[in-house]
Amino acid sequence: MVLKQRSILPGFGLAYGFTVLYLCLIVLIPLSALFMKTSHMSWVHFWETVTSPRVLASYRLSFGASLLGALANAFFGLLVAWVLVRYSFPGRRLMDALVDLPFAMPTAVSGIALTTLYSPNGWVGRYLSPLGIQAAFSPLGVVIALTFIGLPFVVRTIQPVLQDMDKEYEEAAASLGAGRWQTFARVILPTLWPAWLTGFALAFARALGEYGSVVFISGNMPLKTEITPLLIITKLEQYDYSGATAIAVVMLVGSFVMLSVINLLQWWSRRRHGAR
């Protein structure tokens, strides 16, 4: 007689039901409320709200700075993860713990700390000002803040893949005459690419909705350093709930499109790598 193995978790029906219920309460219903609130606006009013010069400037800054911050983290995050995994040195555990610091710090504290450092009289800003570089209260400050809060996503996504990667493949490639860049491009990168792309997507999505760490260092100048989340807060304070939800819907759709494209790239890279 064969005994049926019992699962530790509840059956599929019960677990699936709780999963759908949880996602509906936490994700789907709040997002649906945005669209329902916006649906009360006429198309003309909606279009005028989301395409005003001030709103368009905030889109350019939010999406552009988020993209630049995510690209910077994609490069330096890989470098940090590589050093933490492949090398042993004094203070490695401390460095590994510091990577998670942006997770633990309140975003407002991060913003105040970055503003203190990069303001014209700050520890770093005082050396940048003579060079004509204004970090704080400029779009550059927004990029710095978004890079700061997005780094852990890339490092923590790539790090486990590097730890599980077998060094024998790299040694085999070297024994066959492959150089360092060839080994990286042909052996390491195909394995890291899905995780690398995931880390980039997470850093970009996190930066796109960031508010606390940016609101201090940006200066919040309309048409120059005003991010879209701040503009949404401003409209809420003015009791313009329809305008706030309209801008939020645009940001939601834009984020969804960007994440969908990245997921398609991940699927394509896995399929191509599997075909090989």
Closest C-alpha among 142, 124, 134 to residue 69: 142
pLDDT of residue 73: 94
Is 108 part of any domain? yes
pLDDT bracket for residue 1 (50, 70, 90) = very low
pLDDT of residue 165: 79
pLDDT bracket for residue 140 (50, 70, 90) = very high
pLDDT of residue 188: 77
Is 238 part of any domain? yes
pLDDT tens string 187-243? 778 888 888 888 998 899 889 888 888 988 888 888 889 999 999 998 888 888 888
pLDDT of residue 72: 94
Compute the half-sphere exposure of residue 226: CA atoms within 13 Å on the CB side of its CA.
16
Is 43 part of any domain? no
Count how many residues are written for the chain. Answer: 276
| Residue, of 174 and 71, whose pLDDT is higher | 71
CA 153, CA 203: separation in Å to the nearest integer? 6
Is 48 part of any domain? no
How many structural domains does the chain have?
Answer: 1
Compute the half-sphere exposure of residue 112: CA atoms within 13 Å on the CB side of its CA.
5
| Residue, of 2 and 141, whose pLDDT is higher | 141
Contact 234, 108 (CB under 8 A): no
Average pLDDT of span 154-168:
85
82, amino acid identity: W
Give the 3-state DSSP-derived string for the chain, with helices as H, strands as E and coil as C.
Answer: CCCCCCCCCCCHHHHHHHHHHHHHHHHHHHHHHHHHHHCCCCHHHHHHHHCCHHHHHHHHHHHHHHHHHHHHHHHHHHHHHHHHHHCCCCCHHHHHHHHCHHHHCCHHHHHHHHHHHHCCCCCCHHHHHHHCCCCCCCHHHHHHHHHHHHHHHHHHHHHHHHHHCCHHHHHHHHHCCCCHHHHHHHHHHHHHHHHHHHHHHHHHHHHHCCCHHHHHHCCCCCCCCCCHHHHHHHHHHCCCHHHHHHHHHHHHHHHHHHHHHHHHHHHHHHHHHHHC
Mean pLDDT over each residue of the chain, to the nearest integer: 84
Average pLDDT of span 11-29:
81
Is 264 part of any domain? yes
Average pLDDT of span 102-127:
88
Is 16 part of any domain? no
pLDDT of residue 120: 87
Is 46 part of any domain? no
Range of the domain at 193: 53-275
pLDDT tens string 38-79? 888 888 988 998 999 999 999 999 999 999 999 999 999 999
pTM to 2 decimal places:
0.84
Is 261 part of any domain? yes
Q: Residue 146 maps to which CATH number?
A: 1.10.3720.10
pLDDT of residue 9: 59
